[in-house]
Amino acid sequence: MNDKTRLIAAVIVFGSLWGFLEAILGSLLKTVDFPYGAIMTAGFAVPLLLIARRMYAKPGVSSGIGLVAGSLAFFNPWIGCSICSAIAIAAEGLIFEILWLKIDTQEIPQTNLIQRASLGIVSAYAIYIGGYTITQILTPVVFGSFYLENLAYLLPQILARGLPAALLGGVTVLTILSIKPLHIRLPDKQYYPLTAGVSAICWIAVIASWIITA
Amino acid sequence: MHSMPSVIMKNVSLFAIAILLLSISASLYVKAIQTSNETDEQILIVNNQEYAIDKLFSTFEHITITTDDGQKTGIPLDTLILDTGLEEPATYEYTMKAIDYQQTVKWEHIQTGILSQEQMKVYFPTLAHAFWVHDIIEIEVNKI
C-alpha cells in the first residue's frame, strides 16, 4: 500500500487514542475534581499531536487526528454534553495544525531547552483556550442562545484556566522534543493490523461503555 | 547540514513569556473578583428583587426533574420568576449569573428548569451542561 494509505491509518490510530483517552481517562479526572481539560490537552493531546507531527510532517494530519478524536467523543458516555467535547477536540486539532504550519520539525535539534519548553507553553495554551473559547461560542449557537456579553464575561476565566495547560505543556513538549525520534518503518503486514487493531480497541471500548451506561 | 532556527523559533520564548504573564494576570484578576464578591449574606437577586436563600428553599415547592445526569430536585424557575411579579414572561430573556460565568436562556427553557440548593445550581434538561450555571448570585431579566 502507498504512503497516503499509511498516513490515513496513522491519523485514525492517533485520533482514536486521543478520543479514547478523553473518554476514559478524562472522565475519571473530571470525577475527582482535577483540572481535567488542561491535563488532557497538555498531557495527552499535545504530545500525541506532536509525535504524529514529527512522524508524519504532512498538512492535514493534526486536524484529521482532531476530527477522528472528536468523532469518538460523541460516544463518550461520561459527559453530559458530547457535542461540546467533540467540538473542542476537533478545534484543538485544527489550532495545532495552524500553529505548527510554519514550524519545521527539522529545526528542533538546533533549539535549546528554553525554546522547546516555550513551544510547549505556546502550543498547549493556544490549543486549550482556543478549544475552550470555540466550545463556548458554538455550544450556545447550537442551542440558539449565544450572547457575546456572556463570552466577554467569561474571558478572564478562560485566560486564567489556560495557565495549568501552559505549564504542563512546557514540560511535556520539552520532554518529547528532547527525545530523538525513532525512524522505524514497519512493513505493511505489521503496520496495518497494528493500527487497525489499536483503533478498533479504542472505538469498541468507548462505544461499549456508551451502550452499557445508556 | 541543518539550517539556522527560523524567526518563529527565535521568538517563541518571548511569546511564551507573554502567555505566562497574561494567564497569571488573568488568574489574579479572577481571584480578586471572587474575593471581592465573597459575602456572608446569602442572597439571590431575581429580577432586581432580593431573596434570602434559606428562606427561598423553605418557601417554594420543590420538584424533581430528569436530566441526562440523573434526577435533580429544586425550585421550578418559572415559579420563582413569576413570584417577582413579571408579566408576559415569554417576551424576556433570563441571564443566570455567577461571579465569573453567565448564560442566557429563554422562557421556554425557564419553564423546564429548576434551581437546586446544592451548589446553587440551575438545571435545564433540554440544554447543554454549559448552561447549568452553579453558584448563582443573580437571575437578570431583560426584555427581548
pLDDT in tens, B75-103: 999 999 999 999 999 999 999 999 888 99
Residue B76 sits at φ, ψ, to 5 deg, of -65, 130
Smallest CA–CA distance, residue B12 to chain A, in Å, is 6
Sheet with B43-46, edge to edge strand ranges: B49-52, B43-46, B138-143, B92-97, B102-106
pTM (whole model) above 0.95: no
Nearest to A153 among B22, B68, B102 (CB): B102
Q: Which residues contact B114 (CB under 8 A, 6 or more apart)?
A: B63, B65, B72, B73, B74, B75, B76, B77, B122, B123
Asked if pLDDT for residue A183 goes beyond 80, the answer is no
Flag the least confident range among A162-171, A175-184, B91-100, B134-143.
Answer: A175-184
Chain B residues lying within 8 Å of A170, measured CB to CB: 16
Residue with cell 498516513: A7
The pLDDT assigned to A25 comes to 83
What is chain A's mean pLDDT, rounded?
88
Which pLDDT score, from 0 to 100, does residue A57 have? 83
CA-based nearest residue in chain A for residue B3: A107
Is the pLDDT at A84 greater than 80, yes or no?
no
* pLDDT average, residue stretch A177-193: 84
Mean pLDDT of successive 10-residue stretches along chain B, which has 144 residues: 64 95 96 78 90 91 91 96 95 93 94 94 91 93 93
pLDDT the model gives residue B39: 66
Q: Take residue B66 and report the three cell numbers written for it.
A: 430528569
Surface of A (95-154) touching B: CB under 8 A: 102-104, 106-107, 109-111, 114-115, 117-119, 121-122, 125, 135-136, 139-140, 142-143, 145, 147, 150, 153-154
Mean pLDDT of A63-89: 81
Determine the pLDDT at residue B5: 58
Interface test with B, best of A150, A151, A161, A210 (most B CBs within 10 A): A150
Helix orientation angle between A113-142 and A46-55, rounded to the nearest 10 degrees: 120
Q: A162 or A107, which is more confident?
A: A162
Which pLDDT belongs to residue B1?
45
Residue ranges per structural domain of chain A = 3-213
Whole-number Å distance between alpha carbons of B111 and B137: 20
- Which positions in chain A touch B92 (Cβ < 8 Å)? none
3-state secondary structure chain B: CCCCCCHHHHHHHHHHHHHHHHHHHHHHHHHHHHHHCCCCCCEEEECCEEEEHHHHHHHCCCEEEEEECEEEEEEEHHHHHHCCCCCCHHHEEEEEECCCCEEEEEHHHHCCCEEECHHHEEECCCCCHHHCCCCCCEEEEEEC
| Chain A residues touching B29 at Cβ < 8 A | 156, 160
The answer on pLDDT for A80 being more than 60 is no
Mean pLDDT of A22-29: 80
Cα distances (angstroms) measured from residue A134 to each of A47, A69, A73, A92, B103:
21, 16, 16, 9, 15
Kindly tell me the sign of the dihedral angle through the C-alpha atoms of B99, A38, A166, A83: negative
Residue A120 pLDDT greater than 80, yes or no: yes
What's residue A85's pLDDT? 77
Q: Which residues of B touch chain A, with CB atoms under 8 Å apart?
A: 2-6, 8-9, 12-13, 15-16, 19-20, 22-24, 26-27, 29-30, 33, 67-69, 95, 100-106, 109, 127-131
pLDDT value, residue B100: 83
Say whether pLDDT at A184 is over 80. Answer: no
CA distance A76 to chain B (A): 13
With CB atoms and an 8 Å threshold, state whether B128 touches A142: yes
**Binary contact (A80, B30; C-beta < 8 A):** no
Q: Do B104 and A114 touch (CB under 8 A)?
A: no
The β-bridge relationship of strands B92-97 and B70-76 is: unpaired
